[in-house]
Amino acid sequence: ENPTRMTSNQTDCHYCLQSLRGRKYALREENAYCVTCYDSLFANPCEECKKPIECDSKDLAYKGRHWHERCFNCAKCSRSLVEKPFAAKDELLLCTECYSNEYSSKCFHCQKTIMPGSRKMEFKGSSWHESCFVCQYCRQPLGTKPLITKDNENYCVPCFEKQFAHHCYSCKKVITSGGVTYHDQPWHKECFVCAGCKTQLSGQRFISKDEYPYCVDCYSRFYAEKCAACKKPITALGGAKFISFEERQWHGECFNCAKCSVSLVGEEFLTKQDDVLCNECG
């Protein structure tokens, strides 16, 4: 092996100018320094013991901070972190075990610690191991796939539809959210329409006829009896009263004496051809 040779400008310490022959020295930017001068001028202070890290010691650095090799330890359990994985928290260095015990999330499914460096899934404010975040039915990883939650269990969309989803009575397709129940059958809101004019009936008043829903207008036009007095349809919506007599019907407010217009609802009356009359007028 070839020994290091000093050039003429390295025979003396660059700072104190004392001879370096037969003494240890250190080079910095091609200048030679005795150990004492080098340590006083350039040695980094150790974060742990605050003493200089001499040139004959190993200097371990992390994010601009420096430690002696013997001082580079876990802040909680004091085990050495040299050549081992570690994590930083509030400027403290911790081994992965201590960091996990103090700060790591617990998996919502298995309740075990999610170790630093491992992939973590977040869903509805909870953390999961990637291997635990799976479809409850097929056990395949959900990752970032669309999913549906039922009774605190997660399902991929195909499995949820297979296990739980209702199928629309009209179009036969899966109802994934919302929907309307009519005659104990599920419907999409957009499929629940008037059998006459096809207007959506969700949230609207409607009338059933032969197991089909009709909006008020269509039912009145196609099926409602006509009032013998005003000739308008009688729908009986909202509990409205109507009077029926000899195959004729009247709105409650239209069932009046044809001569004096007094209401005949609940009263005795007489008929004369198509008219109804109170006893006095009759």
d(Cα 254, Cα 60) in Å, to the nearest integer? Answer: 100
**Mean pLDDT in residue range 27-35:** 86
Q: Please, which residues have CB within 8 angstroms of residue 253's CB and are 6 or more apart in sequence? A: 263
Q: What are the tokens at 275?
A: 């008219």
**3-state SS, residue 146:** coil
**Mean pLDDT in residue range 54-82:** 90
d(Cα 200, Cα 214) in Å, to the nearest integer? Answer: 10
Question: What amino acid occupies position 268?
Answer: E
H/E stretch holding 148 reads: strand 147-150
Q: Please list the residues that pair with 113 across neighbouring strands.
A: 106
* pLDDT of the residue at 8: 43
Q: What are the tokens at 266?
A: 């609940």
Q: Label residue 236 by pLDDT band (50, 70, 90).
A: low
- Asked if residue 32 lies in contact with residue 6, where contact means CB atoms within 8 angstroms, the answer is yes
d(Cα 265, Cα 73) in Å, to the nearest integer? Answer: 97
- Asked if residue 215 lies in contact with residue 196, where contact means CB atoms within 8 angstroms, the answer is yes
Beta strands in 79-219 (DSSP E): 86-89, 92-95, 120-123, 126-129, 147-150, 153-156, 166-167, 174-175, 180-182, 185-187, 206-209, 212-215
Give this prediction's pTM.
0.35
d(Cα 19, Cα 8) in Å, to the nearest integer? Answer: 11
- Asked if residue 96 lies in contact with residue 85, where contact means CB atoms within 8 angstroms, the answer is yes
d(Cα 216, Cα 68) in Å, to the nearest integer? Answer: 87
To which CATH superfamily is domain 102-164 assigned?
A: Cysteine Rich Protein (2.10.110.10)
Q: Which of 133, 97, 91 is nearest to 116 (CA)?
A: 97
Where is pLDDT greater, at 81 or 102? 81
Where is pLDDT greater, at 114 or 60? 60
- Architecture, CATH, for domain 180-222: Ribbon (2.10)
Domains 102-164 and 241-278 share a fold: yes
Long-range contacts of 54-59 (CB under 8 A, 24+ apart): 55/26, 56/24
pLDDT at residue 80 tops 90: yes
Q: Label residue 46 by pLDDT band (50, 70, 90).
A: very high
Q: Please, which residues have CB within 8 angstroms of residue 194's CB and are 6 or more apart in sequence? A: 201, 206, 213, 214, 215, 218
- Asked if residue 62 lies in contact with residue 38, where contact means CB atoms within 8 angstroms, the answer is no
Q: Label residue 4 by pLDDT band (50, 70, 90).
A: very low
Dihedral sign of CA atoms 143, 148, 153, 158 in order:
negative
Structural domain boundaries in the chain = 102-164, 180-222, 241-278
Question: What amino acid occupies position 47?
Answer: E
Ramachandran bin of 195, using left for φ above 0, alpha for ψ from -120 to 50, beta for the remaining angles:
alpha
Backbone angles phi, psi at 274, to 5 degrees: -90, 0
The region of weakest confidence among 44-58, 80-94, 112-126, 144-158 is 112-126
Whether domain 241-278 has CATH 2.10.110.10: the reply is: yes
**Mean pLDDT in residue range 175-183:** 80
